[in-house]
Amino acid sequence: MDTVERPKSDPVDKSLDTSAGANQHRRRILLADDSLDNLFLFGTYLKRLAVEVDEARNGSVALSKFLAGDYDLILMDVHMPVMDGLTAIREMRGAEARKKIRPTPIVALTASVFGEEIATCIAAGADMYVAKPIKRAALLEVVARLLKRDSVITPPR
């Protein structure tokens, strides 16, 4: 199980930095959170990266967008109305298994740092979790790590 500690520095993978090159491949991230404040804050954190951010305000909308789209990474709040994030993650993993496609990296976003809820996130199919309140450096570190692992990042020129 991967966990993310809040780093002391502010690492940013230069291959994801939009200031490094204007013609980089834009990666797609689905950001699901019911809080407008969090959507704004996380979107602001991700602005300098070569990514396109698509937002969902609940798990049901996130699942619909996932099924209709092609995302490189999903950032999923665990506690949302209509459909919670854990149910959405399970449904996404089920769809990937039925289609026999490579799993999309999913990061669970949760205010709980208790082992039981973290284990539940991983059991639902999340690759990692990040505890709220989320610091900019922690979010950028996770995004860089998972997108780099996907090995489709265009290096800066």
User: What domains are there in the chain, each with its CATH number?
Assistant: 25-148 (3.40.50.2300)
CB 153 within 8 Å of CB 27? yes
User: Do 133 and 16 meet the contact criterion of CB atoms below 8 Å apart?
Assistant: no
Give me 43's structure tokens: 């979107």
Using alpha carbons, select from 61, 32, 31, 36 the residue that is nearest to residue 49: 31
pLDDT at residue 14, as a whole number: 45
Per-residue pLDDT of the chain (157 residues), as tens digits, is: 444 433 334 444 444 444 444 445 678 999 999 999 999 999 888 987 878 999 999 999 999 999 998 999 999 999 999 999 999 999 999 999 999 999 999 999 988 776 787 888 889 999 998 888 888 888 998 998 888 865 443 333 3
HSE-CB for 74 with a 13 A CA cutoff: 31
Q: What is the pLDDT of residue 25?
A: 60
pTM for this prediction: 0.78
